[in-house]
Amino acid sequence: MRSYNRFKTDLEVTCKLAGKKHKVGLYNLSSGGCMIEAATVEAGEGDAVEISLNSKIKVPGHIVWRVDKNVGVKFDIPLHQKVVHHFGYRDEQFDRDDPRDRFGIPLIDIRTEAAGAFD
């Protein structure tokens, strides 16, 4: 069970690892950590990392797991939930403009005439 709510994200952020800065994809974010896509970054469990969410918010942490290009980061100091909520998105923002089911299939208005029903 997770200690913090995790929000989906679709951001490119800067990751500082071993003194070098890298652009990485941020997949999700919580107060306690995040998951990044770092295909070109050589990093392993236990390595120190700093995630820059923007020019003012830099979060130190360390890598807790890696599977292929995906890396799990645990923050040394938890982020405030309001910060996490700001960077994360909620599915309902997208459903208003492009409603889809849980599999990503667009929801369409099914008319009885199109289904072959008669009065």
Stretch 45-60: mean pLDDT, rounded?
Answer: 94
Beta strands in the chain (DSSP E): 7-17, 20-29, 33-37, 48-52, 58-67, 70-75
Number of domains into which the chain is organized: 1
The verdict on residue 96 lying in a domain is no
CATH number at residue 38: 2.40.10.220
Q: 0.85 cut: is pTM over it? A: no
Q: Which amino acid is at 119?
A: D
List pLDDT tens digits, range 74-116: 999 999 888 888 888 655 444 455 566 656 666 665 555 555 5
The verdict on residue 57 lying in a domain is yes
The verdict on residue 17 lying in a domain is yes
* pLDDT at residue 24 in the model: 94
List pLDDT tens digits, range 53-72: 999 999 999 999 999 899 99
Question: What domain range includes position 29?
Answer: 7-89
The verdict on residue 45 lying in a domain is yes
